[in-house]
Chains A and B, each alone.
Chain A
Amino acid sequence: MKLKKNIATSEAGFIFNPATGDSFAANPLAADILARAKAGLDAAAIKADILERYDVAPGQLEKDWDDLLAQLREFNLLD
Chain B
Amino acid sequence: MPPAASRPRLTVAVTGLNATDSPGPGVAVIRALRETTDFELRVIGLSYEALEPGIYLRDMVDKTYQLPYPTAGTAALLERLRYVQEQENVAVLIPNFDAELYNFIKLEPQLRALGIHTFLPTLEQLEARDKLNLAAFGAAHGLSVPTSRPLYSAAELPTAAETLGWPLVLKGRYYDATVVYTPVQAGQAFQRLSGLWGVPLIAQQFVAGQEINIAGLGDGHGRALSVVPMRKLTITDKGKAWAGITLEDEALLALARRFAEVTKWRGGFELEIMRTAADELVIMEINPRFPAWVYLTAAAGQNQPAALLRLALGLPVPMMEGYAVGKMFVRYAWDLITDHTEFQQVAALGEL
Contacts and interface: CB of A to CB of B under 8 A. Distances in A.
B326 A18 contact: yes
A16 B247 CA distance: 11
B249 A19 contact: yes
A43 interface: no
A6 interface: yes
Interface centre among A8, A16, A18, by most chain B C-beta atoms within 10 angstroms, is: A18
Contacts of A60: none
A21 interface: yes
A20 interface: yes
Interface in B219-270: 231, 233, 244-245, 247-249
Interface in A12-51: 16, 18-21
B326 A16 contact: yes
A20 B210 contact: yes
Interface residues on B, range: 10 to 19
B326 A20 contact: no
Nearest to A16: B326
A16 B231 CA distance: 13
Contacts, number: 21
Contacts of B244: 21
B325 interface: yes
Contacts of A18: 247-249, 325-326
Nearest to A8: B326
A6 B231 CA distance: 17
A19 B210 CA distance: 12
Contacts of B210: 20
B300 to A, nearest CB: 12
21 contacts: A6-B248, A8-B326, A16-B326, A18-B247, A18-B248, A18-B249, A18-B325, A18-B326, A19-B247, A19-B248, A19-B249, A20-B210, A20-B231, A20-B247, A20-B249, A21-B231, A21-B233, A21-B244, A21-B245, A21-B247, A21-B326
Interface of A: 6, 8, 16, 18-21
Cβ-closest 10 pairs across A and B: A21-B231, A18-B248, A21-B245, A18-B325, A19-B249, A21-B247, A18-B326, A19-B248, A16-B326, A6-B248
